[in-house]
Amino acid sequence: MVKHRALPGFGLTLGYTLTYVGLLVLIPLSTIFFKTATMSWDRFWAVVLDPRAVAAYRLTLFASLTAALINAVFGLLLAWVLERYPFPGRRLVDGLVDLPFALPTSVGGLALTAVFAKTGWLGRYLEAAGIKVAFTPLGIIIALTFIGLPFVVRTIQPVLQDLDAELEEAAATLGAGRLQTFRRVILPALVPPVLTGFALAFARAIGEYGSVVFISGNMPMKTEIATLLIVTRLEQFDYAGATAIAVVMLAVSFALLLVINLLQWWSVKRSAA
């Protein structure tokens, strides 16, 4: 038995990591809180609860939640089809799922605008049917669905792969129909990854900017999302106003990060049990 000795490089790599994280992440991020601290309490609340800001949060939350829900449903469908049904072109589709990760968000937004605008390939038919997509909240939901899709699919896929075939076989031998097996055996195992994917897509959607600005039209009180309001305040050199809204959004993001970690922990615990 070899005596356990520590590998070299601990001080060097950890020291480098801490310095880099500190300089590039911690110090810059902390400025948000320093900047907020220079505002008076009343001023902070006045900016944060300004009607235009409240309308922006409401729209951001509503559109992000809807998009995450759409992704939870269609992400589950896609993951299921990709894992269970062999069909020609399956690997190609599987690779394409990551497109929103690889495509610059602005190009994604531009591309969706080209498809869904009044004169676009699908937009013209939707317009004829009385459905307006571009420059409405619906357009924002479509953009956020696009960027959130891979999160749900990629969280569910590994769980589906690891799902024990014997469980389903046992259910079938015991006389359960296919739908019953899905509802009573498979679906319960998929609840944690679907929730995790939903939360990841939701968290991503809340902070999204690039893909939304092209399709949303950016009208204050109507189609202005919170990140856009931050940019608008910055362009007016209202640093404090931008920062106050950023603090609200950071608080939401960090709360979601906590929820996601708890979900992942729950998911691991359940699959281990």
Partner 1 sequence: MSQETILRSAQVTDARFARSDPPVARWLLIALALLFVGVFLVLPLVAVFAAGLAKGVGAYWAAISDPDAWSAIKLTLLAAAIAVPLNTVFGVAAAWAVTKFDFRGKQLLITLIDLPFAVSPVISGLIFVLLFGSRGIFGPWLIAHSIRILFALPGIILATTFVTFPFVARTLIPLMQAQGMEEEEAAMVLGANGWQIFRRVTLPNIKWGLLYGIILCNARAMGEFGAVSVVSGHIRGLTNTMSLHVEILYNEYQFAGAFAVASLLVLLALVTLVVKCVAEWQQQRLMTVVDEPADEEGT
Q: Which of residues 17-56 bind partner 1 (CB under 8 A)?
A: 17-18, 20-21, 24-29, 31-32, 34-35
Distance between CA atoms of 224 and 47, rounded to whole angstroms? 16
6: DSSP letter: P
41: DSSP letter: H
Minimal distance in Å, beta carbon 222 to partner 1? Answer: 19
168 burial type by CB count under 10 A (0-12 exposed, 13-18 middle, 19+ buried): middle
Which region holds residue 47: left if phi is over 0, alpha if psi is between -120 and 50, else beta?
A: alpha
Q: Does 98 bind partner 1 (CB under 8 A)?
A: yes
Distance between CA atoms of 216 and 141, rounded to whole angstroms? 9
Minimal distance in Å, beta carbon 51 to partner 1? Answer: 21
Which region holds residue 143: left if phi is over 0, alpha if psi is between -120 and 50, else beta?
A: alpha
Minimal distance in Å, beta carbon 1 to partner 1? Answer: 11
From 45, 62, 125, 254, residue interacting with partner 1 (rule: CB under 8 A): 254
Distance between CA atoms of 33 and 245, rounded to whole angstroms? 12
Binding residues among 203-242 for partner 1 as defined by CB under 8 A = 203, 206-210, 213-214, 227, 230-231, 234, 237, 239, 242
Q: At what angle do helices 105-116 and 137-162 cross, to 10 degrees?
A: 120
233 burial type by CB count under 10 A (0-12 exposed, 13-18 middle, 19+ buried): buried
Q: Does 172 bind partner 1 (CB under 8 A)?
A: yes
Q: Does 114 bind partner 1 (CB under 8 A)?
A: yes
Q: Does 5 bind partner 1 (CB under 8 A)?
A: yes
Minimal distance in Å, beta carbon 44 to partner 1? Answer: 15
Nearer to partner 1, 150 or 192 (CB): 150
Q: Which stretch binds partner 1 (CB under 8 A): 51-59, 85-93, 124-132, 264-272?
A: 85-93
Q: Which stretch binds partner 1 (CB under 8 A): 48-56, 61-69, 72-80, 187-195?
A: 72-80
Minimal distance in Å, beta carbon 192 to partner 1? Answer: 18
C-alpha closest to that of 145 among 219, 67, 222, 207: 67
Q: Does 127 bind partner 1 (CB under 8 A)?
A: no
From 138, 149, 195, 244, residue interacting with partner 1 (rule: CB under 8 A): 149
Q: Which stretch binds partner 1 (CB under 8 A): 3-11, 61-69, 125-133, 263-271?
A: 3-11
120: DSSP letter: S
